[in-house]
Structure 1
Amino acid sequence: MYLLEIDRTLNRIHITLSDRFDEPQAIALLDEIRLRMGELERDFLLLCDLTTLEEFSPSARSHFRAVMDLCNEAGVRKIIRIIPHPLDNFGLTIMSYIHYDSGIPVVTCKALKEVSKHLK
C-alpha cells in the first residue's frame, strides 16, 4: 500500500509505503506522481517513509526506480528516508547511486522524530 502527499507550501512530496508494496501499487504510485509532479517547483524535498513497510515486492522495484528517475528529472534537492532497520536500507542506497544525481543528499533516519533536523 502507498500514500502520496504533496505540500505545495513547503515544496515537499511525502511517500509512505506500508504493509505489502507490490507491482500494481508501484504502477499506481508512478502514474499518480506523473500526474501531480507539476504541483512542485524544482528543488523540492522528497520524504519517503518505510516505517510500516513489511514487504517490497521484487516486481515493484522497476516501477519504483522509475519514480526515483522522475523525481531526479523534476529537480529533487534532497531525499530523506525513514527506515527503522538499517539492513532494509541497503537496496535503496544502491538504487540511489544509480537513479539520483551524485550531488543530491540522501539521508536515512530510523524514526520520524529524527526527520525535523534534516528539513532545513
Structure 2
Amino acid sequence: MAELDIALKDMMMLDGAIGAAVVDYGSGMALGVLGGTKSLSIETAAAGLTEVVRAKLRTIEQLGLSEQIEDILISLSSQYHLVRPLHGRRSNGLFLYVALDRSRGNLALARHRLRDIEETLEV
C-alpha cells in the first residue's frame, strides 16, 4: 500500500488539487482516497466516475476500436475532473482520479503527471 499512498500524495501535489483517488472500476470501490471538501466527496465522485469509465470502455468495444483510453476530462465551471485508466499488467482495471480547482490547476501538467504516476505505480 506504500506505493498507493505515494501515488495519492503525488496527485495531491499538483497545483490546485482538491482530491485524488485510485479506483477499481470493476467494483466501483476506491482503493485509496486523499483530500476532498465539504461539497466534494472524492469517494462519491470516484464511484460515479466508475460508470463513466465502464460506459466508454463498452462503447470502444462496440465500435470495434483497438484503442485504449488515455484519459477522460470532465470540465465544470470551477473544477477539472481528470480520470486516467491504468493499463499496466499489475494495475489493469484501475483508474487514477484527480479533481482540480480550475483557477489554480494546470491541466496539461496534470495529464503529464498522471501518466508518470501510472508508469511507476504497482498495485
Please confirm whether the aligned pair reaches a TM-score higher than 0.5, indicating the same fold.
Answer: no
Q: Which fold has the larger relative contact order, with Cα–Cα distance below 8 Å and residues 6 or more apart in sequence?
A: 2
TM-score, length of structure 1 as denominator length: 0.30
TM-score, length of structure 2 as denominator length: 0.30
Larger % of helix: which?
Answer: 1
